[in-house]
Structure 1
Amino acid sequence: MGRVFVAGSINMDVVATAERHPRIGETVAGEAVFYFPGGKGANQAVASAKQGVPTTLVGRLGADAFGQELRTFLAAQGVDLAFVKDTDNMHSGTAIITIADADNTIVVVPGANGLVDADDVAAPALAKGDVAVSQFEIPLPTIAAFFKRARIAGATTVLNPAPAKPADKALLDLVDILILNETELGFLTGTELSDGDPPARFAEAARSLAQGRTICVTLGKRGVLALADGEPLLVPGREVKAVDTTGAGDCFVGALASQLAGSKALRDALTYANVAASICVQRMGAAPSMPTAEEVSAVLSSRRPGEGRDP
């Protein structure tokens, strides 16, 4: 079995719940406030580790109380933190999240995440069969350095370009598997897309990014559309009552990486990751909501596997 290495952000999520989101300039009364470990890198690492796959996180924490809490939590989830540094005179990454009617708004303050550099990602020794994962909450040049080392080692590179921002061709050329939602797909391709568009519309947009790589477009409860070797594959989603969607995409990425490290076929890995994400959204919080392998297996064993179909 290969290992999963995640180079990415580590945040404390400060979550406020309310009946509805405030309009610009408006104040609304909240219902409760919570503090949850999060950050896209940490979320994806926890999602992978909880599937029983050796998972290493590469990143930075601030020398503050949040940093200490985050380190303790991540270690308890089984994530290898040997390459997570404490950074003096800098606060840990923080996300301010409002949740209303299961939808969220998020403001991320990078803190120590913005200082993750090429030396940090040069430290772990990757090997053939490993999976290297990153997202856009650390500097893009750092991601490029990480993926270059992964490619040399024969590892599979997985990029989740979120939150969406411009990425140059040189970085995308280092990516084997690109995992993104419809918003990020629209941003990177300059295409107007909406939730209700038919799968064929997403497949058409994704083709411009393919260029020899696999594209996975997450579509929420509709499932995921993958474009592999130019051929579309639609894996249906699992409808559940969502409580908090904050970590759903990260859960999908981490769970998928864990299955790829175990050499699972793409269709099976997508189905597994879909189920993991459907469990995640039924709980509050990001990293704490990630399911275990036993929980995912229980759902998979109780349902007929979804059939992929051409959009």
Structure 2
Amino acid sequence: MSKITVVGSLSTDFVVSATKRPEVGETIVGDGFTTTFGGKGANQAVATARLGGQVNMIGTVGSDRFGKEMLINLKNNGINTSNVESVTHLPSGSAHITVVNGDNSIIYIPGANDEITKNQIKKAFPVIHSSDVVIIQNETPLEIIETVIQTCFEKGIKTIYNPAPAKKIERELIEKVSYFTPNESEYKLLFPELSLSEGMKKYPNKLIVTMGSKGVYFNDGEKEVHVSSYKVKPLDTTGAGDTFNGAFGVALTSGLDMIASIRFGNLAAAMSIQKFGAQSGMPTLSEMKESEYYEKEWHIK
């Protein structure tokens, strides 16, 4: 079983669905409202655990009702929460999501997620050092991201850095990670001076750009590689990127090569967007194996 540590955010998603987005000053009638579990860190942890990974979560929640419910949800998904700490002076993180025609727009409020400390990371070093791969995203303070990546780099631990949402980072940091997985819009914000081809050539077998229905692109050191997506009708794309990153991590630590790992991630993401909610649509490994697109050669247990 893959040992995977996820360092990142935990939040509650407040989701509104509608047929259009309101203009400034406009009030419209929506189609529905629900609350779901979210946060890019928690999402990636749940995606990983459902696919058979042995997952440890490192993060911070508030001492409010939402924080308690998030911890219960992680435990219900088989995730170790020993390194998730509670703070009393800030509310738990939240995301406010509008879904229109299957696509989402999000306002994220970090809350307690910004209170994770270097000392908390140091206390979790035994867990990090025993991991097959560590996954981290950008809904975490930059100094924490740098601390995690540096310790993994020094210990030779593989890392998947999903730079979402995009924020300015030092290029030296990218050099230290094993895999860097922005989506198309994040790539453009992070590398405005480089075309997609130039960026992938600069970071072969490291920079993996996810482009939704257009698939995934990377450079294998000799040429650009395009891995097609699976064509499905989306209901809610929230959490698709998180599902991909979690599944990609499981596949890599199960011994699959880059292309096979990306295909596995693409299938998991495609299955996730056919249900509502960031986490509720994330498939289990048994559900993946029931898909007509599942490849027997993947040999993931």
TM-score band by shorter chain is: over 0.9
Counterpart of 1:280 in structure 2 is 272
CA distance in 1, matches of 2:232, 2:252: 25
Counterpart of 1:260 in structure 2 is 252
Asked if structure 2 preserves the Cα contact closer than 8 Å seen for 1:255 and 1:276, the reply is: yes
Letter of the 1:52 counterpart: G
Alignment of 1:207 with 2:201, yes or no, is yes
Larger displacement relative to structure 2 (240-249 or 114-123): 114-123
Counterpart of 1:186 in structure 2 is 188
CA distance in 1, matches of 2:248, 2:292: 15
Asked if structure 1 preserves the Cα contact closer than 8 Å seen for 2:205 and 2:218, the reply is: no
Gap regions ≥5 residues in structure 2: none
**Total equivalences in the alignment:** 295
Counterpart of 2:103 in structure 1 is 103
CA distance in 2, matches of 1:280, 1:273: 11
Aligned pairs (5 A) from 1:216-255: 216-229=208-221, 231-255=223-247
**Deviations, residues 199-245 of structure 1 (Å, cap 9, x unaligned):** xx63334334x1x6611111111211122335322111101010000
The secondary structure found in structure 2 opposite 1:289 is coil
Asked if structure 2 preserves the Cα contact closer than 8 Å seen for 1:131 and 1:157, the reply is: yes
Letter of the 1:37 counterpart: F
The secondary structure found in structure 1 opposite 2:71 is helix
**Deviations, residues 106-161 of structure 1 (Å, cap 9, x unaligned):** 00000011111212222232347610111110101101101111122221011111
CA distance in 1, matches of 2:220, 2:136: 20
Q: Percent identity?
A: 33
**Deviations, residues 67-100 of structure 1 (Å, cap 9, x unaligned):** 1111111111111111100111210000011111
Letter of the 2:200 counterpart: A
Gap regions ≥5 residues in structure 1: 193-200, 306-311
CA distance in 1, matches of 2:73, 2:266: 25
The 3 A distance-change label for structure 1 pair 302 and 137 is: closer
CA distance in 1, matches of 2:101, 2:168: 31
Asked if structure 2 preserves the Cα contact closer than 8 Å seen for 1:215 and 1:226, the reply is: yes
Asked if structure 2 preserves the Cα contact closer than 8 Å seen for 1:191 and 1:205, the reply is: no
Larger displacement relative to structure 2 (265-274 or 17-26): 17-26
Aligned pairs (5 A) from 1:122-133: 122-124=122-124, 125=126, 126-127=128-129, 130-133=132-135
**Deviations, residues 45-86 of structure 1 (Å, cap 9, x unaligned):** 111111111111100010001111111111111111111001
CA distance in 2, matches of 1:4, 1:302: 22
Counterpart of 1:79 in structure 2 is 79
The 3 A distance-change label for structure 1 pair 304 and 235 is: farther
Question: Following TM superposition, by how much is the alpha carbon of 1:303 offset from its aligned partner in structure 2, in angstroms?
Answer: 7.0
Alignment of 1:156 with 2:182, yes or no, is no
TM-score for both structures, normalised by structure 1 = 0.90
Asked if structure 2 preserves the Cα contact closer than 8 Å seen for 1:256 and 1:273, the reply is: yes
Aligned pairs (5 A) from 1:298-309: 298-299=290-291
